[in-house]
Amino acid sequence: MLWWWLMAAIAIALFLRNRMPQKFQSERRAFLTASTTALCAAPAIALGAGVIFRKDFHINEIDISIPNLPKDLEGLRLLQLSDIHIGEFFSEQDVARVVDASNGLRADLVFITGDLITTKWDPLDRCLLQLARLRSASGLWGCLGNHELYSKVQNYTTAKARELGIRFLRREAVPLRFGNARINLVGVDYPKHRERYLAGVEQLVSSDSFNLLLSHTPEVFPVAAKQGFDLTLSGHTHGGQINLELFGKNFNLVDLDTPYTRGLYNLGSSRIYVNSGLGTIGVPIRLGAPPEISVIRLCNT
């Protein structure tokens, strides 16, 4: 897509140049030369900015209205990190900077929604040590992503994190009490088969609790909504990672695969928040999808 964008810009510039009369004023020649140069340079400038600012995370505070939210859950602050991808392009120091910023945000609960690494050679232990510094009034929780699955480190990640005080939930539910209200926290692994999203997970839903699902991929949302989950927290998409404005519309490759690219979505009374993540995959570039620390405040409608 990036190559197509670059070629399209050059083709437009050459087309405009060839359409102009051969005899014209020097001012017009200078203007056309400058315009052509700017048009051809625009992709390179945008890509350069995408590399330079790919680690400049945004802190997004979002109020999410939940129908019939228990009174004792109103104002609860949920901090979410996702898709760290520690490695060559996102270092331990970068993770430490995110943790330091997160610790100033007064989180009641902290969630990590998968893809701590990209490959099995990435420094997973260093990432976990930094994440263990996160402060939360009610614990550090998470689910695993597709890169833990592909790297075959799901069991290791779960065990090592548990030693450090981080609990990754793998198709299991944990009750968390806040006053007279209870959160039924459920976490699932990245699904191996798309056609079997959340198969059997409906058994973990609690009828007398606020049901919160941690799932790395947002593709589960329609099923989660049907099963009775009030809120789902996901990542995986990187917010599209590379978003291009073409002919007044936004384009990214993720939109071809899922309607849940980034931010908040509703299905009936169910909600999902898709975090844009912190690291990158494929190329160390972010355009129109800055890395994100999200802080969700639960509100009653």
DSSP, residue by residue, 28-93: HHHHHHHHHHHHHHHHHHHHHHHHHTTT--EEEEEEEEETT--GGGTT-EEEEE----BBTTB-HH
Could you tell me if 201 and 183 lie in one domain?
A: yes
Q: Which domain holds residue 288?
A: 58-300
* pTM of the shown model: 0.84
Mean pLDDT, rounded, of the chain: 87
Band of pLDDT at residue 193, cut at 50, 70 and 90 = confident
Position 61 scores a pLDDT of 97
pLDDT tens-place string over residues 238-269: 999 998 877 778 888 888 889 999 999 999 99
Position 9 scores a pLDDT of 52
Position 251 scores a pLDDT of 80
Residue 102 has pLDDT above 80, yes or no: yes
Instruction: State the first-to-last Cα distance of the chain, in angstroms, to the nearest integer.
Output: 41
The CATH number assigned to the domain holding 198 equals: 3.60.21.10
Q: Domain total for the chain?
A: 2
Could you tell me if 156 and 11 lie in one domain?
A: no
Half-sphere exposure of 211 (CA within 13 A, CB side): 20
Which of 37, 52, 67 marks a domain boundary? 52
Could you tell me if 45 and 170 lie in one domain?
A: no
Could you tell me if 41 and 70 lie in one domain?
A: no
Could you tell me if 114 and 11 lie in one domain?
A: no
Could you tell me if 184 and 266 lie in one domain?
A: yes
Could you tell me if 93 and 42 lie in one domain?
A: no
Could you tell me if 35 and 63 lie in one domain?
A: no
Position 40 scores a pLDDT of 46
Q: Which residues share a beta bridge with 78?
A: 109, 296
Could you tell me if 75 and 47 lie in one domain?
A: no
Could you tell me if 37 and 63 lie in one domain?
A: no
If one compares 86 and 195, the residue with the highest pLDDT of the two is: 86
Residue 47 has pLDDT above 60, yes or no: no
Could you tell me if 32 and 105 lie in one domain?
A: no
Could you tell me if 132 and 277 lie in one domain?
A: yes
